[in-house]
Structure 1
């Protein structure tokens, strides 16, 4: 199957799952904030995908590989399954919270702030993908692709800028969808990102030449001047 076909199938499946979780839990398709979030996510994600396809098709092909690979640490396989379950539960929670039961009442201006932050996060994601051709979706050393340390662009500021972008996108999404419970629960997803950052760094320091020296030069993992 071609990479283009894999991308098309992945987008369709993801869209169906997201709609089912969000609007199924909400109990209605008449949820403007839900559709606004879908447009932001798939508009931003689609734009990044097109950019990668044009600039770095090898990276896109790598990202379309299975999320379970032979040279991937077992802990990362478990992590991806757990995070997938948490993500689905999180989306369903926000549909229940913001629409079906209306536990949360969030001012509209926060949705605007959230939308702006989601857009910023996608801009950062694009910058990261353009800078690092080795951004596989799983933790592994890509010896067959000449894997080496990338220390330019966003990587000169923090060591894991893609996770930093996700750290913006996740709570911002809860603001767009108008869910205080979703905002609180996003802490679980963020904690997962922090844990994976720690575990991934152990792999990189142990197996990627030059990473230990890079980690000494760029002190911060996710948040500049904080951590």
Structure 2
């Protein structure tokens, strides 16, 4: 009997790339927030960064214990990522990043909008819940990659535990919470504009990815019949 081929996991990130990420990401966040704000002393920016680093730092420590392969899976776009997904991400990612400088220009420098305290608190709740949900999804799903493709070399299978018991794309609802939560947490209604653009394209991505999985991932049709909702239970 012919032995089944072993799954081929993605290669680890090089040490230099890991160092570049570790240094570059915090510096980029500082630039995106404090340069538009016009001052390094903008207190809401520091509070926001503290919450962000605490949330994602805690998530990273948990993932390192329960699903360390996720760091390889998410380290880069893998071969076979769909061209339509790359095109969508070419707009989604800049729109998501634009939330920060637009919010900083608004709330930190020009004060175009006045966001009540309850809405800021709601924003922080969205950020924290978004981090928790995406961390939960990554903890149970080793195939949680940044690009849309069928991971045949990894023997991709349907994941139906954790948050996948309730919706088929929990990582996307987490992203939506983060998009809008970041804008409100930084105290800006204007930043809801790029958040909304990123959200619309992410919903489109959900539809197209779902269609791909139904057509090409064994067992996904049965799973989608059991778990009817893509993003929000009882809604869609």
TM-score, normalised by the number of residues in structure 1: 0.91
Residue pair 2:34, 2:45 contacting (<8 A) in 1 also: yes
The alignment of Structure 1 onto Structure 2 pairs a total of residues equal to: 225
2:3 maps to what in 1?
Answer: none
Shift in Å, 1:183: 2.4
Identify the residue that residue 23 of structure 1 maps to in structure 2: 34
| 1:113 positional shift | 2.5
RMSD, aligned α-carbons: 1.8
SS class of match (1:57)? coil
Q: Does 1:48 align with 2:36?
A: no
Match of residue 167, structure 1, among 176, 179, 199? 176
Alpha carbons 2:183, 2:192 under 8 Å: kept:
yes
Which of 206, 231, 234 aligns to 1:222? It is 231
Secondary structure in structure 1 of the residue aligned to 2:201 = helix
Question: Which whole-Å CA distance do the structure 1 matches of 2:105 and 2:93 have between them?
Answer: 19
Q: Deviations over 1:152-174 (max 9, x none)?
A: 22111100001111111221111
- Which secondary structure state, in structure 2, belongs to the residue aligned with residue 147 of structure 1? coil
The CA distance in 2 between the partners of 1:52 and 1:7, in whole Å, is 16
SS at match of 1:181: coil
Query: Of 72, 79, 86, which aligns to 2:88?
Result: 79
Q: Deviations over 1:12-31 (max 9, x none)?
A: 21221221122111111121
Distance, in Å, in 2 between the alignment partners of 1:7 and 1:56 is: 18
Report the counterpart of residue 113 of structure 1 in structure 2: 122
Q: Is the 8 A contact 2:85 2:147 kept in 1?
A: yes
Is residue 25–residue 96 contact of structure 1 (8 Å, CA) maintained in 2?
A: yes
Structure 2, unaligned stretches of length 5 or more?
1-10
Q: TM-score, normalised by structure 2?
A: 0.88
Whole-angstrom distance in 2 between the partners of 1:85 and 1:117: 20
